[in-house]
Amino acid sequence: MGEDERALLSADVPEWEVIERNGIPRLRRSYRFSGFGDALEFAYAVGRAADEQDHHPRIVLQWGKVTVDWHTHAIGGLHRNDYVMAAKCDDLYTAR
Amino acid sequence: MGEDERALLSADVPEWEVIERNGIPRLRRSYRFSGFGDALEFAYAVGRAADEQDHHPRIVLQWGKVTVDWHTHAIGGLHRNDYVMAAKCDDLYTAR
């Protein structure tokens, strides 16, 4: 993925940042909730959408907060799919 | 909670270790799975059991692995409830 494509894809998911963890760049966003139950349901919805696409995030669930990381294992970094799934998460958050 | 009570409770959940994160002791166990979907369902079951008890863990979900942390926010450490919920997680894992 070239810089131009990355810039274009990033513009669609402005709330996501690229972080590095264990030497691998990842897309990350934290979502806020008013309690645990609503955070749980969101995490579950993200997980189901991920499994349908066979593209699997790391999800950290805690009271009032869900953090989602995407990267593509096969390339050890970011692929277009990661941005697509990030946008899908934003849609699920908006649609709650 | 005294040392004696802690030792007794720990004996019931031998797979859990006490770790420290952000200066707070927590109970932690990682569970292994053969894929993402089964890990997701387990994380969701733990989350629902937690919400029913109004005692909320931190859950990290990734492909093939779920890590659960328990601590008691109000005391900034470990309470009997954390051990009870740890045992509940083990039961859910066994019952899959």
pLDDT band at residue B3 using 50, 70 and 90 as cut-offs? confident
Query: Which residues of chain A make contact with B40, given a CB cutoff of 8 A?
Result: 44, 47-48, 51
Cα(B96)–Cα(B93) distance, integer angstroms: 6
A66 at the B interface (CB within 8 A)? no
Q: What is the pLDDT of residues B13-66, one digit of tens each?
A: 999 999 999 999 999 999 999 999 999 999 999 999 999 999 999 999 999 999
CB < 8 Å & 24+ apart, contacts of B28-33: B28/B67, B28/B68, B28/B69, B28/B70, B29/B67, B29/B68, B29/B86, B29/B89, B29/B90, B30/B65, B30/B66, B30/B67, B30/B68, B31/B65, B31/B66, B31/B67, B31/B68, B31/B89, B31/B93, B32/B64, B32/B65, B33/B64, B33/B65, B33/B66
Q: What is the pLDDT of residues A40-88, one digit of tens each?
A: 999 999 999 999 999 999 999 999 999 999 999 999 999 999 999 999 9
Q: What is the pLDDT of residues A3-35, one digit of tens each?
A: 899 899 999 999 999 999 999 999 999 999 999
Task: Determine the residue among B30, B51, B58, B72 to mutate to test chain A binding: the one whose Cβ has the most chain A Cβ atoms within 10 Å.
Answer: B51
CB contact under 8 A, A56 and B48: no
- In chain B, the residue whose alpha carbon lies closest to the alpha carbon of A49 is B37
How far out from the chain centre does Cα A94 lie? 14
Question: What's the predicted TM-score (pTM) here?
Answer: 0.96
CB B66 within 8 A of CB B59: yes
* ipTM metric: 0.95
Give the DSSP H or E segment for A28. strand A24-32
Q: Which amino acid is at B22?
A: N
pLDDT band at residue A1 using 50, 70 and 90 as cut-offs? confident
Beta-carbon contacts of B33 under 8 Å, excluding residues fewer than 6 positions away, are B39, B42, B64, B65, B66
CB A48 within 8 A of CB B40: yes
A17 at the B interface (CB within 8 A)? no
Q: Can you give the pLDDT at residue B76?
A: 93
Q: Can you give the pLDDT at residue A9?
A: 93
A57 at the B interface (CB within 8 A)? yes
CB contact under 8 A, A60 and B63: no
Going along chain B from its start, the domains and CATH numbers come out as: 3-95 (3.30.1360.20)
